[in-house]
A and B are shown apart, each in its own frame.
Chain A
Amino acid sequence: MIKESLRGKKIAITGSTGFLGTALVELLLREIEDVELRLLIRPSGKRSASKRLERDILKNDAFDQLKEALGTSGFKDLTDNAVSALTADISKNNLGLDDNGLRELSECDVVIHSAAAVSFDEPLDRAAEVNLMGPVRLVETLQSLDAEPHLVMVSTCYVAGNRKGTAPEKPLSQSPFYVPLNWREETEAARRTRSYTEDDSRRSENLEKFRTEAKNELGAPGISLIATKTEQIRERWVKDKMVEAGRERATSLGFPDAYAFTKAMSEQAVQEIRGNIPLSIVRPSIIESSWDKPNSGWIRGFRMAEPIILNFGRGTLKEFPGIPEGIIDVIPVDLVASAIVAVAAQEKPTDPFVVQVASGACNPIKIGILADYVHEFFGNFPILDEKNQPITPSKWEFPGRGRVVTQLTRAKRILQLAENGLHKLPIRGNQAMIVADLEEKRNELDKAMEYITLYGKYVECEAIYDVSNLLGLWDSLEDSDKSSFLFDPRVIDWRKYVYDIHLPTVVTQGRVKTTPSSSPPTSRNDRLRKQILDPTRQLAVFDLENTLIASNVVSSWGYLATKRLSSQDRFRIISKTILEAPSMLAMDRRDRTDFLRNFYRKYEGAPVLQIDEDSLEMFNEFILTKSFPAAIRRVREHRALGHRTLLITGALDFVVQPLKPLFDEILAPSLEMKGNKYSGRMTQVPPIGETRAAVLRNYADMNNLDLKESVAYADSTSDLPMLEAVGFPVAVNPETKLATLARRRGWLVENFQPISGSPKRTLPLGSKKE
């Protein structure tokens, strides 16, 4: 009956690039002869609608079976004449269709609307725009074309809200706990909250908050990087605010989240304005991988349950809220597709016909049982960690949601405190990597918190979705239709479905390591090092302090100043410098260039000859003892490979002069000369922070070197602009902030140390000399 009624019909489908849409297209092409499908597709990025049809839909593995049956050429003919793509965008008026598109839409007999913003943490206004105004615009366009096709709208069971007891298959207005919603008001309110939040984010105290947050995440890398970071934080703040607004608004009206809330409003809106367009509504519950068509276990993209299952398998998520007796309402995607086709095949109903596709009523599966299956599965096929050791998942104890949330927030606060504390300490290298690990764990906790807040409600809601209409429809089918359009939930054997079908696909889709890798795991660092020491690289840039040597500007001045002083003068100059130290440190934290400019005043009146002679002796006696042999070896390896080596530093040129043979070029500030004495004023801006990146860029242009093919070694976030400018950044003995950034961006982190046995010096004093 379905095949006959739909044969030769023109069917328009929106949201065909989605998980359900693709299943629907595949089912229609497979079962219904000479059907004509009009797919309304939104062009995204560079790809036009037809290209997306070609790439996103037809290339999907769902059509593999069809391709084998018809052969590639047969399949191509079928799709060429049966399927056509219309560029459309449901968030625009007339769905963004051109005239030809409108004409083709008007000729359609059936319109299936399955486009929706399905992610559960959509900002309120975007959810309203897509889920609510989308169907409204579709109906308005159909009315403007005065076409009356059979409109099948895909909604969700959760439009029933967080209620207990059965949810009837009736339009919302007739269901018992109906909460009157004025959808026009809500859309306006959503747009207004968007503009309020945008203005709120631009208030000065918020902007100040964002800038400080950016600063303590990046340190002091210079104005432009801080600005981009602050903007990112502001946008993320707005999005969070909108998502929260959506969630608060939904929970205040009894809905689990913004998605269910907007879907409920769209149902009411369409009923209100549909006029005499026949309408039927299909409400699936949580859609999961297919039961057997096109092949059992087919899935596209990650939806709701997969991240939870994977994190549980990896052991990062030990607890999950939800009560063991609670029912988790899961339905395979091919059952939903068949139900939609069956509904579409009915004759056009006068008043809205509602069908709920859910397994909760007729063939329920309890969370406890699902958890056992998952635990058993991961017991037999465990996920392996990077050391090829199987991770044994812990038993789910199902604590109440409240307890899980408090546990997680406490852990998060402790980690945050530890991290801030460590950021203050001047630790470097390996100790700094501990901060990176802390940050990584904190991110995992954030994700877990997100899952819990998002999915927690779905797991806890105990509504049972009545499926009498569905079963009625199922009984009215002939046997031939029943075999090809299976949508009876009772047929599902949950153990087989979870154990044999769904979990294997989740694991393969998640690309998680379940089989031990054969070759020894070359550590990530070795791989990165091989990449860096590669003849094709062109330039290797080095910072000086804490990258090549462990001394700094203050100690080299200390050496040169005390070189020719008697012991009382030495004592006086030491005590004077110690008094100045705190203010110098504070200025250095604020802005390094000011610090250098102010500090180099101390060289005022220093005789050039004496300084040059003493600086060679300083290099031999003091700087070399604090150098990192591994770092110097690395510079020479770069030169051996033919790379151009460059040293950019804030230290003065006469201090780094003895390093000349190591580098092709040394860019260091120099002091003006007044007669035969130094004047204490720098000739040009010291290459620090942003100026360092600028200096590097025009050095590369002058010698036509490609920065993307070059390597940079640096130790603090003030060198971030340089590190980001080059293709292969390396963090050497990184400060805590740079350590977390390096770990997050996957940069190589080196830990160069002075050789043990080098003579230690408490104070940087020069050996006496008249």
Chain B
Amino acid sequence: MPQNQRKHPRPGLVLDVDRTTPPILFHHGEGFRMEKLPAGRSRVIYPAEPLPGVPNPNGTIRHALENPLGDSPPLSALLKSGMKLTIAFDDISLPLPPMRKPDIRQRIIEAVLDTAASAGVDDVHLIAALALHRRMTENELRHAVGDRVFDAFAPTGAIYNHDAEDPDGMVVIGTTPHGEEVQINKRAAESDLIIYVNINLVSMDGGWKSTATGLSGYTALRHHHNPQTMVESRSFMDQENSELHKSNWRQGKVLKESGIKVFQIETTVNNNTFGYDGPLAMLQKREWEWNFKDRMTFLSMQAGLKRMSNSSKRKSFQGWHSPYEITSVQAGEVEAVHKTTTENVYKQHLVQVEGQTDILTMGLPYICPYNVNSVMNPILVACLGLGYFFNMYKGKPLVRKGGVVIMTHPTPWEFHPVHHPSYIDFFERVLSETTDPTVMSQKYEKAFAEDDWYRHLYRTSHAYHGVHPFYMWYWCAHALDHLSEVVIVGGNQEAVRRMGFRSATTLQDAFEIASDSVGFSPTVTHYHSPPILMADVT
């Protein structure tokens, strides 16, 4: 049992800050900051400690495959020789940061293929369910499915990235009662069985969202990836009142009725993002529990980071692979599986919090779903802060209506030309005109979505789809509508101003800026993540 791992992991903690509380660790992109929060009127929410992983992952997986949940027969019964099988798995955006080898997808796919081999299934395709994300490079695919599976399937072209813009590769199944078209990958639609291998990092992932969104294209996504749905999703992380969830489930129903059989395999991981012992172990511990070794490694890291160049910092941070452990594996019928998965996710992430505050501060880390092995440009910073961290709540947001969000991130004016070509033009041409998501969606979205150059890059290069920057901005729609002010500390001024936020150099200045909308002694909540936490606000 490693030194920091506890037999009984403690749940999340809401710490009321007083004069004795030490400075709190804020993530600052590829770096860290130590900030003192005002005493007496601020609180810090700490994530729960990592739950113990299952002792024998492969055994658990085999067990889950053979006794599925819901009305689905075991996998071996489903597989017959001569059938057409498609295995879809999550792309590079999960888990965050990427997991140490062997990846969950490798374990599950090898187990499934083993059963398929014994059943004598020959026609098998492995598809990375990208939706509109960038295509995975060969190394990323090897990391996900393992060298053995990749070397077996790549030469015959049986493992490939989903192509949402391939005219004869996509098919529209039908429309939901609300008029939302349902589009899915033709190979998946025609195969006798779709096995979806899912990593549920947050409560939003999984369920019908995997197949209805992961394997579909722009014609289907535009119906729920738009400002209205986003604003009405009173946090799309919380399924009961998430408009996005309802729309995905409607599309899922249409898929189900059209005779497509899906065998869903969902896994949850614990919060062991930085490892129990190792160079980054202290990032997962509470500040007052750091021992001498932790403090020394932290100080030496801070000194080292000061001297490194941006690109070498980025390379070293992106190189970090988290030692996640699998906490649960469920397989079988989609809805039954998703219910248990959500419970397991909540078990690890939920923290009870009472009441909202005027200000919500958060330290944005170096990674978000869309910049793995890439550059986090300003739009992704906004999406991570206002799109993901802000929405990690059940019940009510952590900050009251008309409150202020303060985020710390260097927000450099830097883009990755190969991965985010449409972001560059979006930032240059669209954001300079308007930052209002609804105006933007009416005026510019169609041109970007149907642009030939972006479509060419999406299909042949490793670029995110032309319309993706718009979705990133719609992700922040709920927050933009809810908050009165957004302040970024330590960011590049032009980039921050271009996005319509206020820029400050220190946290105190940020409080000063926020004072004209929330007064001079506002109540503050600090969202101390990663590791991931979700606030259950009553």
Q: Which residues of A contact B (CB under 8 A)?
A: 616, 619-621, 624-625, 627, 629-630, 632-633, 636, 658, 660-662, 754-760
B414 touches A661 (CB 8 A): no
Which residues of chain B from 387 to 405 have a CB within 8 Å of any chain A CB?
Answer: none
Distance, CA A756 to CA B411, complexed state (A)? 13
Distance, CA A760 to CA B417, complexed state (A)? 12
Distance, CA A630 to CA B311, complexed state (A)? 23
Shortest Cβ distance from B495 into chain A, in angstroms? 11
B513 is an interface residue with CB less than 8 A from chain A: no
Shortest Cβ distance from B345 into chain A, in angstroms? 34
A633 touches B461 (CB 8 A): no
The interface stretch among B44-52, B253-261, B420-428 is B420-428
Distance, CA A616 to CA B461, complexed state (A)? 8
Distance, CA A157 to CA B129, complexed state (A)? 95
Closest to A637 in B: B429
Closest to B135 in A: A620
A-B contact pairs, 19 of them (CB 8 A): A619-B461, A620-B460, A620-B462, A629-B425, A632-B453, A633-B429, A658-B456, A661-B452, A662-B453, A755-B417, A756-B414, A757-B412, A757-B413, A757-B414, A758-B416, A758-B417, A758-B418, A759-B416, A760-B311
CB-CB < 8 A to A624: which residues of B?
A: 417-418, 421, 457, 461
B416 touches A757 (CB 8 A): yes
B501 is an interface residue with CB less than 8 A from chain A: no
A754 touches B417 (CB 8 A): yes
Distance, CA A758 to CA B457, complexed state (A)? 16
B377 is an interface residue with CB less than 8 A from chain A: yes
Q: Do A756 and B413 contact each other (CB < 8 Å), given the known contacts A620-B418, A632-B453?
A: yes
A661 touches B453 (CB 8 A): yes
Shortest Cβ distance from A770 into chain B, in angstroms? 11
A625 touches B417 (CB 8 A): yes
B418 touches A629 (CB 8 A): no
CB-CB < 8 A to B456: which residues of A?
A: 658, 660-661
CB-CB < 8 A to B429: which residues of A?
A: 633
Closest to A756 in B: B414
Known: A619-B461, A633-B428, A757-B375. 16 other contacts (CB 8 A): A620-B460, A624-B417, A625-B417, A629-B424, A629-B425, A633-B425, A636-B451, A658-B461, A661-B453, A662-B453, A754-B417, A756-B414, A758-B415, A758-B416, A758-B418, A759-B416
Distance, CA A661 to CA B375, complexed state (A)? 26
Distance, CA A291 to CA B454, complexed state (A)? 72
CB-CB < 8 A to A755: which residues of B?
A: 414-415, 417, 424
Which residues of chain B from 413 to 448 have a CB within 8 Å of any chain A CB?
Answer: 413-418, 421, 424-425, 428-429
Q: Which residues of B contact A (CB under 8 A)?
A: 311, 375, 377, 412-418, 421, 424-425, 428-429, 451-453, 456-457, 460-462
CB-CB < 8 A to A620: which residues of B?
A: 418, 460-462
Closest to A627 in B: B417
Q: Do A636 and B453 contact each other (CB < 8 Å), given the known contacts A620-B462, A629-B425, A757-B377?
A: yes
Distance, CA A660 to CA B509, complexed state (A)? 50
Closest to A629 in B: B424
Distance, CA A758 to CA B412, complexed state (A)? 12
B414 touches A625 (CB 8 A): no
Shortest Cβ distance from B469 into chain A, in angstroms? 13
- Across the A-B interface, give the 5 residue pairs with the lowest CB-CB distance, nearest first: A757-B414, A620-B461, A661-B456, A629-B424, A624-B418
Distance, CA A629 to CA B426, complexed state (A)? 11
Distance, CA A616 to CA B460, complexed state (A)? 8
Shortest Cβ distance from B267 into chain A, in angstroms? 31
Shortest Cβ distance from B197 into chain A, in angstroms? 26
CB-CB < 8 A to B414: which residues of A?
A: 755-757
CB-CB < 8 A to B425: which residues of A?
A: 629, 633
Q: Do A759 and B311 contact each other (CB < 8 Å), given the known contacts A621-B418, A629-B417, A629-B421?
A: yes
CB-CB < 8 A to A759: which residues of B?
A: 311, 416
Shortest Cβ distance from A548 into chain B, in angstroms? 12
Distance, CA A715 to CA B5, complexed state (A)? 62
A658 touches B460 (CB 8 A): yes
Residue of B414, B415, B453, B460 with most partner-chain A CB within 10 A: B453
Distance, CA A661 to CA B377, complexed state (A)? 26
Distance, CA A660 to CA B456, complexed state (A)? 9
Distance, CA A630 to CA B429, complexed state (A)? 11
CB-CB < 8 A to B416: which residues of A?
A: 757-759
Shortest Cβ distance from B389 into chain A, in angstroms? 23
Closest to B428 in A: A633
Shortest Cβ distance from A639 into chain B, in angstroms? 9
Shortest Cβ distance from A161 into chain B, in angstroms? 68
Distance, CA A754 to CA B452, complexed state (A)? 22
Shortest Cβ distance from B154 into chain A, in angstroms? 12
CB-CB < 8 A to B457: which residues of A?
A: 624
CB-CB < 8 A to B461: which residues of A?
A: 619-620, 624, 658
Shortest Cβ distance from A365 into chain B, in angstroms? 59
Distance, CA A522 to CA B327, complexed state (A)? 64
CB-CB < 8 A to B412: which residues of A?
A: 756-757
Closest to B309 in A: A760
Closest to A628 in B: B417
Distance, CA A212 to CA B278, complexed state (A)? 67
Shortest Cβ distance from B486 into chain A, in angstroms? 22
CB-CB < 8 A to A760: which residues of B?
A: 311
Distance, CA A619 to CA B421, complexed state (A)? 14
CB-CB < 8 A to A636: which residues of B?
A: 451, 453
Distance, CA A125 to CA B429, complexed state (A)? 63
Residue of A658, A660, A754 with most partner-chain B CB within 10 A: A658
CB-CB < 8 A to A633: which residues of B?
A: 425, 428-429
CB-CB < 8 A to B428: which residues of A?
A: 629-630, 633
Residue of A627, A662, A758 with most partner-chain B CB within 10 A: A758
CB-CB < 8 A to B413: which residues of A?
A: 756-757
Residue of B375, B418, B424 with most partner-chain A CB within 10 A: B418
Distance, CA A625 to CA B377, complexed state (A)? 15
CB-CB < 8 A to A627: which residues of B?
A: 417
CB-CB < 8 A to A621: which residues of B?
A: 418
Distance, CA A468 to CA B425, complexed state (A)? 81
Distance, CA A632 to CA B457, complexed state (A)? 13
Residue of A625, A630, A757, A760 with most partner-chain B CB within 10 A: A757
CB-CB < 8 A to B452: which residues of A?
A: 661
CB-CB < 8 A to B460: which residues of A?
A: 616, 620, 658
CB-CB < 8 A to B415: which residues of A?
A: 629, 755, 757-758
Distance, CA A756 to CA B309, complexed state (A)? 13
Shortest Cβ distance from B222 into chain A, in angstroms? 22
Shortest Cβ distance from B448 into chain A, in angstroms? 11
Distance, CA A625 to CA B418, complexed state (A)? 6
CB-CB < 8 A to B421: which residues of A?
A: 624, 629, 632
CB-CB < 8 A to A756: which residues of B?
A: 412-414
Distance, CA A636 to CA B418, complexed state (A)? 17
Distance, CA A621 to CA B462, complexed state (A)? 9
CB-CB < 8 A to A754: which residues of B?
A: 417
Distance, CA A620 to CA B462, complexed state (A)? 7
Distance, CA A756 to CA B492, complexed state (A)? 13
Shortest Cβ distance from B423 into chain A, in angstroms? 10
Closest to A658 in B: B460
Closest to A626 in B: B417
Distance, CA A754 to CA B311, complexed state (A)? 16
Closest to A661 in B: B456
Closest to A769 in B: B138
Distance, CA A658 to CA B421, complexed state (A)? 15
Distance, CA A630 to CA B451, complexed state (A)? 16
Shortest Cβ distance from B471 into chain A, in angstroms? 20
Distance, CA A630 to CA B427, complexed state (A)? 12
Distance, CA A138 to CA B231, complexed state (A)? 95
Shortest Cβ distance from B414 into chain A, in angstroms? 3
Distance, CA A754 to CA B421, complexed state (A)? 12
Distance, CA A627 to CA B421, complexed state (A)? 10
Shortest Cβ distance from B285 into chain A, in angstroms? 33
Distance, CA A755 to CA B456, complexed state (A)? 20
CB-CB < 8 A to A758: which residues of B?
A: 415-418
Distance, CA A756 to CA B462, complexed state (A)? 18
